[in-house]
Chains A and B, each alone.
Chain A
């Protein structure tokens, strides 16, 4: 889960706080000491931590908070608000030119992930019915141009490059001209990675900026960066004027120091976050949602959006009908399984449900992708006939299925049993709908 370490520590602190009915000033001070440690261990910038803790303390120790009926709740609310504010409040979008093409320039240190991000950003814009063009202005790193070309090919997006030229300013200008000629409405310029203290290379970026007048200069930052993140961002912003940040490698287990510090220090919003190696793994950044995920309050909005994007609505409705008619067979089961997997890795999904982030740590509750794959393998090892009519599956068929899927007979048995349970539930649901009465249907865990 995103920012797991920080989330764990903060939630632990607040659970302790909730355990007490009334809060004294000393309780708040102690909790804030723990928050400070958690933030520092998460690589949040030293000064940002200092200010943050001071602000929360000041607000939390105020009269009405400590004397309210649920003081701990209030403290968490304040922390949530301040965390959100640290990361910039609400989502920031990228600027669009009145007169296309919109020119976007990606800058940053070596290895931050600029080239990969250029590909992902192009893909995201493509989804929004834009027509991007990629520009290969990294003339230094071996095979950087080739890398962008490969990405362009995969996405079927034109890439402007000139392997003869060692002049990134010229290349950028030519790319913009090409975009105009070809009617592309966005140009994404991939520049070479450089140190923020390298004057010569920083001057080169200034020259590119002057010659193509980009609408957006986005600084690409590795989410695992330590205390130096702020220095780097300040330098790039000071010399170039940055419009926003793209955080990469957020699918690692970074605790979020860069995410929590950069906006606070530079005032520049984080606009996108890289969430994986695949080209569709770039997401708009929502500070408010992230803050509540860190505090274990879930992020149902993102989950719904994900579902809307990845699930096939028609199929879902069709499935619902079949389920209600109790025509639910292993074929539908398999289809459903695949739909859920389309939503992304399970642990990422769980982190979006309130209070569910800790679920996977409970024994016996390891909902992992491996398990789902195993179930899929078992179903795929059944014949079509067996899938439609599971009663057929006798002892010797079970052994064959286990063998075919590389599992044990017990695994097959368990799945068959679960399937019967699900069907039973469907029947209940069906009779409930028929009788038109609500509330008759009871889930096993309801009283």
Chain B
């Protein structure tokens, strides 16, 4: 049984909803408040919904697009009641996110290499800790690579996580070449027959050309040592980030070939709406979400649940 079957089994999707409670209540309450104030669907109502969506960081562009589609559907299906708007909205958002749950990629044989990238402070190391924990639970042999050789004490931070979850950390001294660390780690993963190698990298702003080149080099080293690797390049995005996340996703995709998004810090009041734009514009699936600081606070991302959690009125 694969890691994700196990994860699904142990966590179940109710947990996703639980994690999204705050997201949902902040946003749905708002939508509900707006909708109950109206007797029919008119421009004013749509405009207010538009406002609420922009406030959820969905972005002007994507919001305009969604509202445009909603308008068409309302006209075509002759929807009159404001209450029915919920479902239409949720449907449109789910359309953009893609309907299926997308598990993390696995190597057909040999170690699966997961490269974790992102700008500073989004929660890369914490996400790696949680991921390693779950994979260990599922019976995988996990190896971690301390590829953040820049930030003070970043290696120590990963080591503490390694101890917590019982995963070995491959490292060199602070300030050394991250590509060299990654090379060592890949060799170790092969030699020790690890099932999964998770590589931490330094946070880098996507507009810093030299740092992005460094990342390109890291990816090159990995794929040279293991054909088809990295199997998963996870871009970690902070849910509090606004429209800048789109620029981040674009450039990281171009440089490192991102295969999935990990959306963190969804336990705050931020709505993370920018992932709707990212999924729609870049065809980049959200795969996992972070909903807290504990080892267990990691969930698979279920687009339909996310969308209906955003819009669904039913409070279970």
Asked if A253 is an interface residue, CB under 8 A from chain B, the answer is: yes
Size band of the B side of the interface? 35 or more
From B54, B153, B242, A147 is in contact (CB under 8 Å) with: B153
Interface positions, chain A 209-245, Cβ under 8 Å from B, are: 222, 224-229, 231-232
| B122 on interface, CB distance cutoff 8 Å | yes
Is B240 interfacial (CB-CB < 8 Å)?
yes
Determine whether B121 belongs to the interface, using a CB cutoff of 8 Å to chain A.
yes
Q: Across chains A and B, which 10 residue pairs bring their CB atoms closest together, nearest first? A: A226-B242, A111-B121, A43-B242, A142-B160, A147-B153, A150-B152, A143-B156, A143-B157, A146-B153, A228-B270
Contact A226 B243 (CB under 8 A): yes
Is A196 a contact partner of B274 (Cβ separation < 8 A)? no
Do B269 and A226 touch (CB < 8 A)?
A: no
A227-B54, A228-B269, A249-B205 known; A150 and B153 CB under 8 Å? Answer: yes
- Closest Cβ of chain B: how far from A232's Cβ, in Å? 7
A132 within 8 A of B: no
B88 to chain A minimum Cβ distance, whole angstroms, is 23
Given the complex, which residues of B lie within 8 Å of A225, measured CB to CB?
A: 240-242
Residues of A within 8 A of B51 (CB): 46
- Assess whether A41 is in contact with B240, with CB atoms less than 8 Å apart: no
Residue of B56, B122, B159, B205 with most partner-chain A CB within 10 A: B205
B247: CB under 8 A from chain A?
A: yes
CB distance from A345 to the nearest CB of B (A): 10
Task: Check: B305 CB closer than 8 A to any chain A CB.
Answer: no
A143 to B146, CA, bound (A): 14
B161 contacts A by Cβ under 8 Å: yes
B98 at the interface (CB under 8 A from A): no
| Contact status B269-A231, CB under 8 Å | yes
B153 contacts A196, CB within 8 Å?
no
Chain A residues with CB under 8 A of B269? 196-197, 228, 231-232
Do the beta carbons of A141 and B265 come within 8 Å of each other? no
User: Among B54, B57, B156, which residue has its beta carbon within 8 angstroms of that of A142?
Assistant: B156
Q: Give the contacting residue for B56; candidates A143, A151, A227, A251; CB below 8 A.
A: A227
B299 at the A interface (CB under 8 A):
no
Q: Are B54 and A46 closer than 8 Å at their CB atoms? A: yes
Chain B minimum-CB-distance residue to A36: B60
In the complex, the answer to whether B241 meets A226 with C-beta atoms within 8 Å is: yes
Please tell me if the beta carbons of B122 and A109 are within 8 angstroms of each other in the complex: no
B244 on the A face (CB < 8 A): yes
Look across to chain A and name the residue whose beta carbon is closest to the beta carbon of B156. A143
Answer whether residue A359 sits at the interface, using C-beta atoms and an 8 A cutoff.
no
Residues on the A chain within 8 Å of B150, using CB:
277
Is A195 part of the contact surface with B, judged by Cβ < 8 Å?
yes
Asked if A42 and B243 make an inter-chain contact with CB atoms under 8 angstroms apart, the answer reads: yes
Which residues of chain B (130-160) have a CB below 8 Å from chain A?
150-154, 156-157, 159-160
Query: Does A110 count as interface, using CB distance less than 8 angstroms?
Result: yes
B6 within 8 A of A: no
Q: Is B267 an interface residue (CB 8 A)?
A: yes
